[in-house]
Amino acid sequence: MNYTEFEQCGLKRSMEVLSGKWKPLILHHLFHEKEIRFIELWRKMPRVSKKVLLEQLQQMQEHRIVERIERNDFPPQVAYRLHPDTKSLGPALQMLEAWGKSR
Amino acid sequence: MNYTEFEQCGLKRSMEVLSGKWKPLILHHLFHEKEIRFIELWRKMPRVSKKVLLEQLQQMQEHRIVERIERNDFPPQVAYRLHPDTKSLGPALQMLEAWGKSR
DNA sequence: GAAATGGGTTACCTGAAAGTAAACTTCTTT
DNA sequence: AAAGAAGTTTACTTTCAGGTAACCCATTTC
């Protein structure tokens, strides 16, 4: 019995980085908007606190799911967009979206 | 701002029922084996306790991800297989599997 | 009749995820 | 100078998924 199978399952690894209470919604928005400011995203998701939203985004950044773009304008302007690696997930996520809707 | 969007996001709904520490691995096995006994599944995943494995399976049953088949033989024989509704997820999950492996 | 089997239950514990609330920073507007 | 905006941080609390360990039940085999 090889225990490494545990770590090798690609599905598990994918799900790990995609799951989190607010991540699917973030992905949903980013797939539709291509780039969105932090504050805008927050306005679209008024039930999360800024803190938690930020945490989710930071984790997604570490996992290379999203990219953070900072323009040192004033007022501070930070935007998020999908990381290029994530774009190939589009079709899979669309299927999940449709499947989730139809139940 | 409509809060119901929160509940309507299909991606969120999908992820909710698919995520859980051991569910991706369970899915992985069920997609490969079509039907598998509880004890067999447990042997393939020796790092989960029976209790937790059972919990995951029960949740997946409630969510109509898997089906439970009971044969009242002796010793008790219970098997799990994918629920028909889940089979259409095959392609999406394969993509996630591949994506997860390639990083 | 003792032990093993397969599926499941019970009771209890722990850590990480998520929530709440407030404050900080740097600049702009009034 | 006061107030507000955008992004972030700090500190503290609550919740719950998952973990451990032991036990139950019906039958079979030794």
Domains of chain B: 11-101 (1.10.10.10)
Facing residue for B97 by CB, picked from A10, A43, A85: A10
Using a CB–CB cutoff of 8 Å, tell me whether A93 touches chain B: yes
Segment A32-91, tens digit of pLDDT: 998 999 999 999 998 999 999 999 999 999 999 999 999 877 777 899 999 999 999 999
The CA-CA-CA angle for residues B18, B21, B26, to 5°, reads 65
The whole-angstrom separation of Cα A27 and Cα A41 is: 11
Contact between A6 and B18 using a beta-carbon 8 Å cutoff: no
- Beta carbons within 10 angstroms of residue B54's beta carbon: 14
Best of A99, A101, A103 to disrupt the B interface by mutation (most B CBs within 10 Å)? A99
pLDDT at A5 over 80: no
Segment B77-88, tens digit of pLDDT: 999 999 999 999
Residue A4: both structure tokens together: 């490494």
Contact between B100 and A45 using a beta-carbon 8 Å cutoff: no
pLDDT at B49 over 90: yes
